Structure 1
Amino acid sequence: MSQPDASGLKGARVSTGSTFLSRLKMGLRQHGVECRKGLHEIFRAPFSSFMTIAVLAIALALPAGFHVFLKNAQNVSSGWDNATQISLFIESNISSQQVISLKGQLEKSEKIAEVSYISREAGLKEFKELSGFGDALSYLEDNPLPDTLVITPTESHSSPQASQALLAELEALPEVELAQLDLQWVRKLYSMMAIAERAVSALGLLLGLAVLLIVGNTIRLAIQNRREEIQIIKLVGATDAFIRRPFLYSGLWYGIFAGALSWILVNSSVFWLKDPVRNLAGLYDSQFQLSGLAFLEALQLIAIATSLGFLGSWLSVGRHIRDIEPT
């Protein structure tokens, strides 16, 4: 008797599992149908849908383009090593061997990326070549220039606060007569970058709101155009969730297409500007090249656009479908 009961329980478990799987398959199949239906709604009016997608893409391309501009500006500024270099002028009574020993000690610091040693002789030679007073300087009996160590901080210690703290630390060394850093230039550089980052963020938020409103209004018009159809479907017992689903997928597709088109617009603009920028950089003996949106950045842009499209349609559909009732 116990064996049939066990087999009966076992059969019940299999039956429950098959029911769950069948429901899951049915749900996925239904979502697939609604997803295709949402895409079909876009292609029912291809011209107006393309105009909507183009407007959304331009709204998304503007902050994405400014992000690319800021990224390239940061790449350019990262090559301006002199902006955060600290010059240490060594005491005149310190020998070259002691200066080289000090250089080795500083290179072990976690705050310092590179240390360059400029001897008194090399400094005088460079000064003669660049100043134009070579003949006059040759009459000097002694070399008035000190040995110099040029310190390049690590990236984590290149900010104005960190570089100023490092400057005070290096200036306290007994071998150092004077430590010099152009903090004003460093502060200006970081301030400009901070303003640019906030401007891009503000522009992105405003245009993201515009995308929400455009998608919401587009879905609202689609609902109004199918008002009678929705009333009939509600008469036969369709729920709001069932009616809402294709419109949500339409918003999702709007976001995907707009994100992909905005990525094409941004990278096409970068490609169009690449040669003039490379020619300009060549005039300054620079190898800088303009870079567009990377693959991961493009995926992030499309994901943001898809999320905005879905959110805009969800906000619009939830309110307008509840207002439509069979009469």
Structure 2
Amino acid sequence: MARNKKTVGAYPSGMILFSLTLALFLIGFCGLLAIQSKKLVTYIRENYEVRAFLDKDLSPKKSTALYQTIAEQPYILKVNGVPQINLVTKDEAAKEFIAETKEDFSKFLGENPLHDSYRIKLNEGYFEEAKLQEVKQNLEEIDGVFEVVYQENLVDNINRNITKIYAVMSAFALILLIIIVVLMNNTIRLALHSQRLLIRSMQLVGATNGFITRPFLGRGIWQGFLAGVIAVVLLLAGLQIAIHNLPELGTLQDTEKMIVLMAGIVGLGMLIGFLSTFQAVNRYLGLTLDELY
């Protein structure tokens, strides 16, 4: 019976492809969570409102001038050039208060003591307690503003929790990356075990290390590329299923960062395939004849 002729660089690759695809999928999933979390954090920060209560009995002319003055401030969030400032009249505020408390204060007070107010959304960069204090002081100095209020200490608590979440995710991703590199090194080294005698034979006939290594590296890079593409396809398919079942996730997508992430996954797969193969081949190139057996 004729024996199959071994070709340099031809070694079992099914397990390598599976392991690397799974590893890249997990890394991509962590990256996807990071992107979604960043988008969610931005959404929370840009929907946080500061309330500027106005002086009573402001004339329409003064009210319009006040709006223009506030809209020109650098901390005001603008969406498509439109300042995110909403006027809430004292009647609307009274309805909201009654709906929340189930108590109609107008019955025993005989009047509505509330003020008209502007509910103002700020740029993300001002989502800090110190900067909010500056915004509050600046707004209260504007003629026509009675008082400015926001939920104090809430911002610092949110920022602390966000920092903790990012730290945990970063540590998890780093540990996962180390485990993946070690796993791939061992997997590729075991896969190359069947090629160790062929490598030694090529050395004995005078082949240079570069000539021997080249086909292995080419195969490792190709496996990394293929594993990266498969991982990207699985991530996109999973994301589409998630959006289909939970449409709200669609608002958290960031196309540019997604493209960078997907390209990074493919690039990382090629890099891991190259480095792991290079290390494994060099190990066998340096073994003595006794160590090969």
Using the alignment, how far apart are the partners of 1:304 and 1:312 within structure 2? Answer: 12
Deviation sequence 1:208-230 (CA, Å, 0-9, x none): 22232233223323443222222
8 A Cα contact 1:115 1:150, kept in partner: yes
| Pick aligned residue for 1:58 from 9, 12, 22 | 22
Q: In the alignment, does 2:96 pair up with 1:132?
A: no
Q: Mean Cα displacement is larger for which, 86-95 or 231-240?
A: 86-95
**Match for 1:248: what amino acid?**
L
Report the CA distance between 1:81 and its aligned residue: 6.4
TM-score by length of 2: 0.78
Report the CA distance between 1:303 and its aligned residue: 0.9
TM-score by length of 1: 0.71
Deviation sequence 1:180-229 (CA, Å, 0-9, x none): 22243333333333333333332222222223223322332344322222
Match of 1:24 in 2: none
| Pick aligned residue for 1:107 from 65, 71, 78 | 71
Quote the RMSD (CA, aligned, Å): 3.3
Q: In the alignment, does 2:280 pair up with 1:311?
A: no
> What aligned pairs does 1:235-246 form with structure 2 within 5 A after superposition?
235-246=204-215
Using the alignment, how far apart are the partners of 2:59 and 2:288 within structure 1? Answer: 90
Match of 1:120 in 2: 90
Match of 2:157 in 1: 188
Match of 1:221 in 2: 190
Deviation sequence 1:83-126 (CA, Å, 0-9, x none): 52111123447555433322211101221022222233333344
Deviation sequence 1:21-52 (CA, Å, 0-9, x none): xxxxxxxxxxxxxxx964xx2xx53xxx2222
**Match for 1:320: what amino acid?**
Y
Match of 2:261 in 1: 297
Q: In the alignment, does 2:31 pair up with 1:67?
A: yes
Higher-helix-fraction structure: 1
Q: Structure 1 residues 192, 262: CA separation in 2 closer, same or farther (over 3 Å shift)?
A: farther
8 A Cα contact 2:28 2:262, kept in partner: no
Deviation sequence 1:247-268 (CA, Å, 0-9, x none): 2223212321221222233233
8 A Cα contact 1:88 1:148, kept in partner: yes
Using the alignment, how far apart are the partners of 1:175 and 1:247 within structure 2? Answer: 75
**Match for 1:133: what amino acid?**
E
Q: Structure 1 residues 258, 160: CA separation in 2 closer, same or farther (over 3 Å shift)?
A: farther
Deviation sequence 1:118-170 (CA, Å, 0-9, x none): 23333334434554334x51453432112212111123333455434323332
Q: In the alignment, does 2:232 pair up with 1:263?
A: yes
Using the alignment, how far apart are the partners of 1:292 and 1:153 within structure 2? Answer: 21
Using the alignment, how far apart are the partners of 1:153 and 1:291 within structure 2? Answer: 21
Structure 1 unmatched ranges of 5 or more: 1-35, 282-286
Higher-RCO chain (CA-CA 8 Å, sequence separation at least 6): 2
8 A Cα contact 2:8 2:195, kept in partner: no
Structure 2 unmatched ranges of 5 or more: 1-6, 78-83
Larger radius of gyration: 1
Match of 1:21 in 2: none
Q: Structure 1 residues 52, 319: CA separation in 2 closer, same or farther (over 3 Å shift)?
A: closer
8 A Cα contact 1:70 1:196, kept in partner: no
Aligned residues: 277
